[in-house]
Structure 1
Amino acid sequence: MATSRPTAAAAGRALAYLESAKNLTGSACALAGLALTFTGLAGAYWPVVVAGLYGAGALVAPPTRPPAPRFPDPASPLDGLRKDVTTLRAYLAQVELPPAAIERLGPLGELLDGLLTPGWVSEALAQNPEGIHVLARAVHRDLPESVDTYVRTRWWTRMAPGRQDPEEQLVRQLALLHGEVEELVAGLREAEEIRQQTHTRYLEDRGTGSTYGTGTAPGT
């Protein structure tokens, strides 16, 4: 069994070479050499001519090029997040939430929709892995955990009142999550502002070096 694997690998390499462009091109050139032999042009050195033509053909043939790896589209994680947000909304609709929490969830949901709706905003987000991580963490873990712990703690509080109000904790958590998403939006906005400022400086620098920028009329 130990010797069969190297033998199989060698056979695979040999078969791959037989099918390669180098071997096919070299064989075509060697056939041309045999044709010269049959016509008497190669003379007594026909084996050298055939071998030389085969080697020359193998050298000029393009090398075997393995296919380039295909990586997932940067926007593909957003497609999954959009579906997960829909699933999260269906879950939240089944939970009896206090009015203050519902009021907090509204703006947070609007931010998620604004970031994930297909368009130039989501395209900018797709180029920001950290931003995608922030959203995925909020949708997959933080929001469901906040609501679920609220539901469980509220039940225990009804059985035996505690020192902390579950509603206040939930509202505070939602406010913190809203702040994280707002920071993400601010970062994306800042990146666009920097891009705009960079383009302004480019136009200013280009105008400084032109005749129009110095006030000189064309042709003078």
Structure 2
Amino acid sequence: MATSRPDGEARGRSANRVLAYVESRKNLTGSACGIVGLALTYTGLAGAYWPVVVAGLYGAGALIAPPERPPAPDFPDPSSRLDALRDDFGTLRAYLDEVELPPAAAGRLTELTELLAGLLAPGWVSQALATDPEGVHALSRAVHQDIPESVDTFVRTRWWTRIAPGTEPPERHLERQLALLYREAEALATALREAETRRQQTHTRYLEDRGHNG
């Protein structure tokens, strides 16, 4: 009884391999060439050696058939990743609206979230961002990890500071963290802008060269 399942799985795999070969290009091409051999047999051209002719043509057809090509992996489209990230960013903003922050930190957080919202807004900016995997990764890390971690750590540390004062105010760390995250997002926006600038300059040179050559 213990070997019934492995034996059944082995038979199933063997049947699948046989079925795959029956449907393969090699078998289909070889069969077509074999049919040509049978036609030669019926016309009398193959003579007494018709089995050899049919088998040889089948083998030749199987050899010349193009190899089977496994399907390429179907990865998610970059724009679909941005759609999911955009939804997660909405969830993050809803969480941030419930957190009470000092005015300075709140101002820095607003600047950061507005910049991220501009980068993720549907349109040509997000289309340009979708072609930059590193940029998408940086935004995903900011939304999923950096910002919620910074804010949540501040909330927890502030509670401890209130019952055990004397340490550095946690809002200073939060302000520095948000400033660093803003610089990262700003650098990404600058890189996207410079890429569009280079694209415009390249098109200008193309038109100039075309005009000179014409």
Q: How many residues get paired? A: 210
1:185 CA displacement? 0.7
The percent of aligned pairs where both chains have the same amino acid is 71
Partner of 1:199: 203
1:123 CA displacement? 1.3
Q: Larger % of helix: which?
A: 2
CA change 1:46–1:153 in 2 (3 A) is closer
TM-score with structure 2 setting the length: 0.82
Partner of 1:25: 29
Check conservation: 2:25, 2:68, Cα contact below 8 A: yes
Structure 2 counterpart of 1:118, from 116, 122, 132: 122
Matched, 1:139 2:143: yes
Gaps of 5+ in 2: 1-7
Distance 1:120 1:173 in 2: 29
Distance 1:115 1:155 in 2: 34
AA partner of residue 200 (structure 1): T
Gaps of 5+ in 1: 211-220
CA change 1:32–1:102 in 2 (3 A) is same
Distance 1:82 1:190 in 2: 23
Deviations 1:5-64 (A, max 9, x none): 999877765553333222233223323433443443432232233223323433444432
Which of the two has higher C-alpha Rg? Answer: 1
Partner of 1:86: 90
Distance 1:130 1:42 in 2: 65
Structure 2 counterpart of 1:181, from 178, 185, 190: 185
CA change 1:156–1:29 in 2 (3 A) is closer
CA change 1:173–1:34 in 2 (3 A) is closer
Distance 1:167 1:53 in 2: 81
1:112 CA displacement? 1.0
Partner of 1:68: 72
